[in-house]
Structure 1
Amino acid sequence: MAEAIYVGGLLVATPQLDDPNFRRSVVLVLEHDLDGGTLGVVLNRPSDISVTQVLPTWDAMVTGPPVLFQGGPVQTDSALALAAVPSGQEPLGWRRLHAGTAAVSRLGTVDLDAPPEILAGEIAQMRIFAGYAGWTAGQLEAEIGEGAWYIVDAEPGDTFYHDPGSLWRAVLRRQRGELAYVATCPDDPSMN
């Protein structure tokens, strides 16, 4: 388990976090600054809204499921796209995440105002998120101190996981030691 918040790392909700916005969520950290706060997107909350309904020109480029993901409770009327590109490429309309981890070295944000044609054939995978998760300076650190989040390393497939509903358990299951056992925690611990 990693010890500090970092761009490209994952925040995994602990079973005690019962905020409906983050319950059993897996958040990819996109920006982190001790003075400015933290920004990320929830990776495991697909919505019922198809990309075609909102951004039809990007629909063909989205990795399944072809829906908007609920990136978090902040600015839910805005969209943010993440895309992976083949190694060594930096196409127009795509900006690399500034992270030192191999898991996100090919990951970046997509300018959704750019014409999709300039990225056609240039990206390997893409997902679009409505809204994002954000914390002011010190807020996330306080939540971690209260036991609301685990900080773990991301793996290359996490952002575009084939079954978003099972990502929380999958991320926890691959951790070492006692943290792997948390994956077996029932949805309602009081029913245990």
Structure 2
Amino acid sequence: MLTMTEVSSLTGRLLIATPKLADPNFDRAVVLLLDHDRQGTLGVVLNRPTTVDVGDVLEPWAALAGTPAVVFQGGPVSLDSALGLAVVPGEPAAGGETGVLGWRRVHGAIGLVDLEAPPELLAAELGSLRIFAGYAGWGPGQLERELVDGAWYVVESEPGDVSAPDPERLWRSVLRRQLSELAMVATYPDDPTLN
């Protein structure tokens, strides 16, 4: 079982769905963990683009959205809510803050955008922006049980993961960059019964 130190350290990391994960909501999902503590876990699925343009639902933010400029399905929970993630390049000031109004650091250069703020507050600072409908959530201890069951790989995130231009390939590309046996999992066939 994971210790509380290990539990706390998962914020900002990626969960990569293992081939044995049976939940269709997370088939080959790449989830960025935004918060992980004793109360539970919150993240967004980075590789589920929808066909809905950002301009159709959050027109003021459309010009700042990365490519593809569509809303992503962040997970199966609260699909009627929107969450913005953005990368703000550069090093944080002393104390870890950037001083960017309307943006709160989650991990490294990745942070949450206040979608109620005027977009022009952030326009000059953002390196990329993604809008997510919904999120992935786990209750206290639930994710830890799934990790023990082998449902997820936990790997380090990179700022470019949030704005990957080809999100459908993110599962394979994140696995491929691992310096371990996980790189081989990237070759796992979509349908192993056809092998």
TM-score with structure 1 setting the length: 0.91
Q: Distance in 1 between matches of 2:99 and 2:50?
A: 29
**Residue in 2 that maps onto 1:136:** 139
Q: Distance in 1 between matches of 2:188 and 2:78?
A: 31
**Residue in 2 that maps onto 1:32:** 36
Q: Distance in 2 between matches of 1:187 and 1:58?
A: 35
Q: Which of the numbers 10, 13, 19 marks the counterpart of 2:17?
A: 13
CA contact (8 A) 1:90 1:96 kept: no
SS in structure 2 of the partner of residue 190 of structure 1? helix
2:61 is the alignment partner of 1:58: yes
2:120 is the alignment partner of 1:114: no
SS in structure 1 of the partner of residue 162 of structure 2? coil
Q: Distance in 2 between matches of 1:144 and 1:39?
A: 15
Which amino acid letter does the alignment assign opposite residue 101 of structure 2? L
Shift of 1:18: 2.4
**Residue in 2 that maps onto 1:77:** 80
Q: Distance in 1 between matches of 2:189 and 2:26?
A: 16
Q: Structure 1: state its 5+ residue gaps.
A: 100-104
Give the ranges of 4+ consecutive aligned residues of structure 1 lying more than 2 Å apart after TM superposition.
Answer: none
Which amino acid letter does the alignment assign opposite residue 13 of structure 1? A
**Residue in 2 that maps onto 1:181:** 184
Q: Distance in 2 between matches of 1:122 and 1:42?
A: 24
Which amino acid letter does the alignment assign opposite residue 96 of structure 1? R
Q: Distance in 2 between matches of 1:19 and 1:180?
A: 22
Q: Distance in 2 between matches of 1:155 and 1:58?
A: 23
**Residue in 1 that maps onto 2:46:** 43
